[in-house]
Chain A
Amino acid sequence: MDLLDNYKKVWNNHPKDTRKFSLEEIYELAHSKSSSIVKWIFIIGLIEFVVLNSSYFFIDMSEAFSLYEKMGLINFIYYTQIIFYIIVFYFLIKFYKNYKKISTTDSISTLMIKIIKTRKTVRNYVLFNLSYFILIMIVITIASINTNFDNLSNKEILIVTIITILVTVLILGIMWLFYQLLYGILLRKLNTNYKKLADLNSEK
């Protein structure tokens, strides 16, 4: 008899009197709070949508708008903001739809793909936000140099440009590290298992 057949026999005799939960205990367990990664992705996703869009509460917008007006950027800001919110809305719907599609009754690989897809929507949303941030930074820098062009020396223009680039890179770097850490920890197990399963499917 094969070694595993022997163990299988032992398995089939697996005693049933290991710890059993009562109906009351099962009821309590079923109604307790989940700590699944899907729940965490949803919470983190929602926080990102809220935090990244709540700058209005922290920035004095009337002051910012008067500055934009001075630089001749008011139309640019106005129209890009409209486009920005249409895209944010699109991301929100996509995120919610992907989240709703996640079901534990799917096969293991389908479930993993759906979780990864939902996470990617959040990642793309963050990337979009950062790109928008970079665009605004560049436009404002160019506009402020243009507005004060006569008063600035070449050296000053160079310093402003370098500082803007450095600040942008620094913010992007911090954000990138933060996301690597956050999703790295959250999805480490899932990513490893998904890779293993994907390897399985690519084998002929």
Chain B
Amino acid sequence: MEKTIEKEFLSDFEKNQNIVHKICRIFTTNQNDHNDLFQEITIQVWKSYSKYRGDAKFSTWMYRVALNTAISLYRKSTKRIKYQNIDDFAYKIKATDYDQTEEFQLEALYKAMHQLNDIDKALIYLYLENKPYEEISETLGISSINARVRMNRAKEKLKKILSP
């Protein structure tokens, strides 16, 4: 039974790990911290996986656990698993079919998001991921009206940072 759950978890997580990578990239500024946060999120998702009942999409459920970890639980640690190819991981995207202008814009967007506070980071992230207000307010645990008000402010802050 445990083995089946573990297999399902690994497959679900592997497929959706991009969600976690994006969150790590928003909440950290270097690759060590990125991997560190990624590790903590993986632990937390696995620990609460038994509570995931499949009535919501796995990715939706994972957003919440991952953001909770990034905002409330994460502490830097020195005792972490070291990856063999840690140096291979660069933030610069090397896909050949990817527009270079877009690459710079994406880089600029991440840099701008680093200047926001953690709650605004979460709000903007959920906005970029096309999440409806209902889901945003549920994830944050605030009213839908407050989510809208705060989202507009976060967007304004981001625009100011991004405007030349």
Interface set of A (CB-CB < 8 Å, partner B): 3-4, 6-8, 10-23, 25-38, 40, 103-112, 115, 186, 189-190, 192-193, 196-197, 200-201, 203
Contact = CB atoms under 8 A, between A and B. Distances in A.
Nearest to B6: A27
A8 B106 CA distance: 9
Contacts of A16: 18
A104 B119 contact: no
Given A27-B10, A35-B77, A108 B102 contact: no
A6 to B, nearest CB: 8
Contacts of B11: 23
Contact of A196 (B17, B95, B118): B118
B109 A10 contact: yes
Contacts of A115: 72
Task: Identify whether the interface residues of A are mostly helix, strand, loop, or mixed.
Answer: helix
Contacts of B105: 6-7, 10
Nearest 5 CB-CB pairs, A to B? A107-B141, A109-B141, A35-B77, A30-B46, A36-B73
Given A3-B163, A10-B105, A203 B149 contact: yes
Given A29-B38, A34-B44, A108-B71, A7 B109 contact: yes
B72 A37 contact: yes
Contact of A37 (B9, B21, B64, B73): B73
B81 A32 contact: yes
B122 A108 contact: yes
B118 A29 contact: no
B115 interface: no
Contacts of A20: 14, 17, 21
Contacts of B23: none
30 contacts: A3-B159, A7-B109, A10-B105, A10-B109, A11-B128, A14-B18, A14-B22, A18-B18, A19-B89, A21-B38, A26-B17, A26-B42, A29-B38, A30-B43, A33-B43, A33-B79, A34-B44, A37-B73, A104-B68, A104-B73, A105-B48, A108-B68, A108-B71, A108-B72, A108-B122, A110-B141, A111-B72, A115-B72, A197-B119, A203-B146
